[in-house]
């Protein structure tokens, strides 16, 4: 499913009317019906229930007015309030409002203090609040009166159903400048928006339902929309089918270059994750002083000692040694726990510039390019970068708050600027490609905020390089990692460890396989 930006959704609405002859009123009518259905699912029944509907003067308010009529017809007692200026109500919302008044339902304006008192009383006695205030066109901070209305709605302590997006959340970025509706559920129309998945907007969305309001399918799937959900359907379609005649050499040979003194765990977890993702052969290359330790720690992963100087990886001849070793593998993962010694960083940059097979750069390997991201364009193949937001900030010369201003935009720009596939780890991990495509993950949980989770992700992606292909490995790997984290979270909650995520990868993969098999039947 695509994820639309505000301007893209406006263009869809325009084309629906001009090219397909679908009038705005018809789409608004359908939207109102879908919102009413969602309200009924929260209420259980309409009869005997009170619903407080708070609308703005735009199309979001029109959807709310239409929903009020549907709920009234089903037996609910509705109280309707208009938070915007009555003189500024647009044509289609005005039609919906006027139908309500013809039915004998008062639409109360919120102009004076006594009007706000009336709203406060209605909120106290209501069973459900419907938020039709601002919609997806909103940006910035709500004006004083709107802010007061939002605060009243939140303070009521009643479930809130938001139409399209919680009022106060910017649809393109998820930003909340001051206050926003704290929705229990959001019904979004046609396509989801970035603000549903990116924090803090994600925290205001509640349960998200994407509704079909009759927009023609070609408009919703247009190639010009460059954002898409990385969901189970997509991930299962990309998961490779393993032949019965497969042997380990056919399932990928991956070299992991990782580890330094005090950070051997990252190297071990990344390597084991690659195997758990289904890779046939994994070799871990580490500084020679650490090889005996990791050879004992790891059973299925082979280990290879690399030359070191003064206790760290690198030095004269190190590049030639590593390139010769890597030539026998399908791809390389470089970085987990590697350390940041100057000679190690020099080796990383030189290797990335010379290695002509798929390359995943994580953690300390990304640090080697801080302030020098333009060097990534010189890689023989677009590398796969797996930064968390702090690492991405260092790479781009920004701060994490800077990135948060427009995470989608900055991640897309980084992928294009560095000619790389960027897997930006956050509450909603984004996978961006140099051609402008960006995928939003739909799995993962707060329990995965634990040391080593990123090492497991990098290993998972690397383990799929040969199985799924370089283009698809970041997508399949990111989804498998998130699903495995969800499976572990069900048992362990916030006590899960990164190794628990790796251990759950086979079960996550089996779930995807079963989903694919069901889809083929």
209 and 269 in one domain? no
In a domain, 228, yes or no: no
Separation between Cα atoms, residue 38 and residue 69, nearest integer Å:
14
Q: Which domain holds residue 49?
A: 6-223
Specify the pTM.
0.95
Stretch 38-61: mean pLDDT: 96
- The CA distance from 308 to 312, in Å, is 5
Where is the domain boundary, 205, 223, 241? Answer: 223
Question: Quick one: angle between helices 473-492 and 453-463, nearest 10?
Answer: 140
pLDDT recorded at residue 188: 97
Contacts of residue 17, defined as CB under 8 A and 6 or more positions apart, other chains included, come to 23, 24
What does pLDDT average to over the chain? 95
Mean pLDDT of 495-517: 93
Rounded to an integer, what is the distance from CA 329 to the centroid of its chain?
32
Q: Is 234 helix (H, G, I), strand (E, B) or coil?
A: helix
Residues in Cβ contact with 138 at an 8 Å cutoff, skipping those fewer than 6 apart: 167, 168, 169, 170, 171
Q: How confident is residue 246, by pLDDT bands cut at 50, 70 and 90?
A: confident
Helix (H) or strand (E) holding 25, with range, is: helix 24-43
239, 184: one domain:
no
What pLDDT does residue 421 have? 98
pLDDT band at 520 (very low <50, low <70, confident <90, very high): low
Residue where a domain terminates, one of 188, 205, 223: 223
191 lies in the same domain as 324: no
Tens digits of residue pLDDT in 272-329:
999 999 999 999 999 999 999 999 999 999 999 999 988 899 988 999 999 999 999 9
pLDDT over 90 at 242, yes or no = no
pLDDT, position 33: 97
Confidence of residue 249 (pLDDT cuts 50, 70, 90): confident
Q: What is the CATH number of the domain that holds 155?
A: 3.40.50.10260
Q: Do 474 and 380 share a structural domain?
A: yes
For residue range 174-207, what is the model confidence (pLDDT) as tens digits?
A: 999 999 999 999 999 999 999 999 999 999 999 9
Residue 397 in contact with residue 375, Cβ under 8 Å?
Answer: no
Tell me: do 150 and 94 sit in the same domain. yes
Q: How many residues does the chain have?
A: 521
Q: What is the 3-state secondary structure (H, E, C) of 75-118?
A: CCEEEEEECCCHHHCCHHHHHHHHHHHHCCCCEEECCCHHHHHH
Same domain, 252 and 136: no
Same domain? 286 vs 335: yes
Read off the DSSP letter of residue 452. T
> Are 197 and 277 contained in the same domain?
no
Residue 244 pLDDT grade (very low, low, confident, very high; cuts 50, 70, 90): confident
**Position 472 in a domain:** yes
Report the domain count for the chain: 2
Looking at 223-382, which runs of residues are DSSP E strands?
227-230, 253-257, 281-287, 302-306, 308-309, 312-313, 331-334, 359-361
If asked whether residues 264 and 204 sit together in one domain, one would say no
293 in the same domain as 184:
no
Residue 356 located in a structural domain: yes
- Indicate whether 506 pLDDT > 70: yes
The domain boundary residue, chosen from 173, 196, 223: 223
Region 52-71 average pLDDT: 97
Q: What is the mean pLDDT of residues 248-271?
A: 93
The residues, ordered by sequence, that sit 6+ positions from 444 with a Cβ below 8 Å of its Cβ are 427, 428, 429, 481, 482, 485, 486
* Residue 1, domain member (yes or no): no
User: Is 99 in the same domain as 149?
Assistant: yes
């Amino acid at each position: 499913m695509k994820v639309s930006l505000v301007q893209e959704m406006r263009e869809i609405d325009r084309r629906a009317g001009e090219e397909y002859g679908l009038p705005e009123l018809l789409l608004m009518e359908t939207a109102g019906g879908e919102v009413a259905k969602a309200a009924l699912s929260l209420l259980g029944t309409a009869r005997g229930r009170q619903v407080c509907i708070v609308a703005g003067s735009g199309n979001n308010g029109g959807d709310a007015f239409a929903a009020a009529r549907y709920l009234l017809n089903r037996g609910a007692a509705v109280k309707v309030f208009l938070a915007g200026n009555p003189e500024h109500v647009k044509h289609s919302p005005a039609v919906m409002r006027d139908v309500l008044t013809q039915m004998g339902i008062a639409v109360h304006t919120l102009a004076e203090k006594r009007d706000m008192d009336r709203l406060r009383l209605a909120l106290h006695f209501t069973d459900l609040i419907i938020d039709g205030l601002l919609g997806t066109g909103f940006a910035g901070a709500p004006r004083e009166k709107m802010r007061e209305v939002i605060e009243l709605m939140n303070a009521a302590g009643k479930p809130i159903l938001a139409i399209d997006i919680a009022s106060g959340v910017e649809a393109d970025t998820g930003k909340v400048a001051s206050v926003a509706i704290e929705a229990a559920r959001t019904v979004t129309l046609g396509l989801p928006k970035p603000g549903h998945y990116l924090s803090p907007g994600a925290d205001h969305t509640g349960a998200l339902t994407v509704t079909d309001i009759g927009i023609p399918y070609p408009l919703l799937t247009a190639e010009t929309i460059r954002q898409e959900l990385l969901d189970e359907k997509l991930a299962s379609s990309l998961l490779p089918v393993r032949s019965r005649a497969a042997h380990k050499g056919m399932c990928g040979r991956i070299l992991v270059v990782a580890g330094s003194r005090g950070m051997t765990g990252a190297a071990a977890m990344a390597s084991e994750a690659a195997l758990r993702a289904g890779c046939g052969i994994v070799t871990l290359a580490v500084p020679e002083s650490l090889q005996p330790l990791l050879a004992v720690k790891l059973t299925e992963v082979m280990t290879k000692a690399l030359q070191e100087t003064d206790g760290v990886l690198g030095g004269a001849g190190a590049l030639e040694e590593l390139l010769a070793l890597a030539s026998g593998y399908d791809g390389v993962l470089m970085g987990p726990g590697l350390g940041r010694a100057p000679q190690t960083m020099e080796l990383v940059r030189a290797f990335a510039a010379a290695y002509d097979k798929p390359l995943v750069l994580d953690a300390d390997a990304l640090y080697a390019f801080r302030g020098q991201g333009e060097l990534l364009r010189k890689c023989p193949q677009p590398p796969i970068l797996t930064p968390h937001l702090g690492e991405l900030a260092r790479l781009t010369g920004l701060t994490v708050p800077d990135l948060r201003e427009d995470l989608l935009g900055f991640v897309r720009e980084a992928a294009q600027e560095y000619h790389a596939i960027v897997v930006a780890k956050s509450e909603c991990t984004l996978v961006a490609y140099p051609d402008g495509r960006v995928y939003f993950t739909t799995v993962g949980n707060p329990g995965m905020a634990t040391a080593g989770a990123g090492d497991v992700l990098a290993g998972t992606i690397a383990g799929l390089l040969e199985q799924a292909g370089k283009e698809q490995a970041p997508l399949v790997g990111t989804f498998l990692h998130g699903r495995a984290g969800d499976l572990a979270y069900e048992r362990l909650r916030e006590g899960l460890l990164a190794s628990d995520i790796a251990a759950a990868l086979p079960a996550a993969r089996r779930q995807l396989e079963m989903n694919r098999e069901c889809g083929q039947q």
